[in-house]
Structure formats: C-alpha cells, structure tokens
Amino acid sequence: MTSFKTYLESKALSKSTIKHYTTYLYEFITWLDKDNTEPENATEKEITGYLNHLQKKGQGNSTRNIRLNVIKQYFDWQYENGSRSDNPATHIKIRGTKQKKLYPVLTRQELDTLYLDYKLPEKDDPNNKRNWWQVHKLSRTRNKAMLSLVIWQGLTTAEVDKLTEKDIKLREGKIYVAGSRKSNERELELKPQQIMELMEYIYTVRKELLETSKKQTDQLFVSTGENEQSNNNWKRLCHALKAQNPKFINLKQVRTSVITGWLKQHNLRQVQYMAGHRYVSSTEAYMVNDIEDLAEEIQRYHPL
C-alpha cells in the first residue's frame, strides 16, 4: 500500500485525493481477503463481484465508477512494476455512468486548413503605416504559433499558457509539456513546419513582444498588454477561426478532433501518453467519437 501511495504522489495528486484513493483500495483488498484472493491473482470476475457488492450496499453509479478508476490505477501500477502481466479492470465499464460530452470532430484536413488559413499580415498591407499595425502583426504571429500546438500536439490552452522557452527543444524537434494535477507530463514530436515558425517566434517575435510590453517573463507566449494572462489572445484567435470555418466551435473541439484522429493511428496507451491523460478511461471516452464517425459513414454510403 505504501508503494502504491508513492506512485499516486508521483502523479501530483492532492493529499486529500491520495487519502481517499488508498482508503478505497484498502476496502477492495479487504473484500478480496474474504475469499483468500491475492490482488495479484484477482480477475475481472472478482472486480465485477466487488462492484455488484457495492451496488447492493446502495452505492450509485458515480461512486462505483470512482472506485473502479482507483482499481484500474492500482492494476496499472502493478503492471508497470511487473507484479502482473495485465490489467483485469481495463474493459470493465459501469452502465448508466454519464459520459463526457464530446464535440463534432474535424478531419485532419480541416484541422490543417484551419491553421493554413490563419493568415499573417503581409508587408504590403495598406495598414502597415498605422501605429497599431506592428503589434497586430506580432500578435497574429504569436497566435499562429499557439494554434499550431493545439492542432498538432493536442495541447490544452492552459498547457500552452504554462510553456516556457526552455520547453521547446528545437534541435531535437520536440516539446516538453509539464504535468499538473489534471494531466501527466509528456514529450512530443514537433512537425517540421513548426520548427521554423517556432524558431522565428522565439528569436524574433517574442523579443519584440517583450520590448513592446516592457515585460520580463520566462513564459513562452507573451501578451501585449500589462496582464500576464492570455485569455484575450485566445478569444481573438477563436473569433478569427470561426470566421474562417463555421464548423469551428472552440479549441476544446480541436483537441477532441486531434485525440480522436490519434486513436485511428496509435494504440490506446500511446494516445493516453500523447494526450497527457492520467487515466486510460479518459482516453477511452474519445473512442465514442470514432464510433459515431463510422456510423455516419455507414449511413452515408450504405443507407438502410
């Protein structure tokens, strides 16, 4: 139990969450002890039996789902340290649990077009002599670099905001994304076209933005105003993207589309890592979109 607690601490969970998780796990192991079953030998049968036991005690779906997630994490930990060769809880789901609302998926081509159509001001722009034009150009260049990290690496806006200059490893062609209470750390590949644009942003645009805003910060993306927050940057970017494509809803939709696309190319564990999900169940939720896309294609090409 102590080793599992250390494992949870490495996930940057709060002390309160760790306390609850270890309590839930202790109750599960105590229930297994009644039949002299060691956790290392537990199967899907024992886990479903425990969940049925909780239901008979009056535990609702949400509570049982929390317990199930703790059990899944426990067996993930056992799998990682070599105590087991599988996770018997992987495919267990509780019927009636409210699913996370997902967004209509944009295709890979639509995502790429969203990025390509976000144009930067040209040198011969008729407004290039106006006082605000230079800041406008810098802001658009910065926003396009931010957008690229959402479209190709599937980062959340919060993760983009927390990036520092040292997180971009241009020589290696990679980006490091720090973990948080809600996500795991990860290192992702940069696309070739991103490397040149990020290089231009870091060594030219960012320096000019720091001069213009008179700021000293290690944040990668610098806002032009006095505020360190980038909420206005994201709002302006989303407004422009909606004008480009009516199908665009928000940047959460973009991340959903990226993860759904990954699931068609990589296995579940790879996508869990790339998306920074703490639990594989979070990644599995995005598989619903893939199934709905398939249903739409069947209806379109093979209607009943």
- What pLDDT, in 10s, does the model give residues 172-200? 999 999 998 889 999 999 999 899 999 99
Q: Give, in order, the Cα–Cα distances in Å from 260 to each of 103, 104, 271.
A: 10, 10, 9
What is the total count of domains within the chain?
Answer: 2
We report the CATH number of the domain holding residue 230 as: 1.10.443.10
Q: Is the pLDDT of residue 259 over 60?
A: yes
Instruction: Give the pLDDT confidence score for residue 61 in this predicted structure.
Output: 83
Residue 257 lies in a domain: no
pTM for this prediction:
0.67
Residues 165, 209 within the same domain: yes
44: domain range? 2-80
CA distance 66 to 61: 9
Residue 193 lies in a domain: yes
Residues 71, 163 within the same domain: no
Residue 199 lies in a domain: yes
Residue 264 lies in a domain: no
Tell me the pLDDT tens digit for each residue of 129-188. 666 678 888 999 999 999 999 999 999 999 999 999 999 999 999 999 999 888 999 999
Q: In this structure, what are the phi and psi dihedrals at residue 260, rounded to the nearest 5 degrees? A: -60, -40
Residue 284 lies in a domain: no
C-beta of residue 121 within 8 angstroms of C-beta of residue 141:
no
We report the CATH number of the domain holding residue 24 as: 1.10.150.130
Residue 173 lies in a domain: yes
210 token code pair: 């720091």
Residue 102 lies in a domain: no
Last residue of a domain, one of 246, 269, 284: 246
Residues 69, 6 within the same domain: yes
What is the share, in percent, of the chain residues with pLDDT greater than 90?
Answer: 50
Residues 17, 126 within the same domain: no
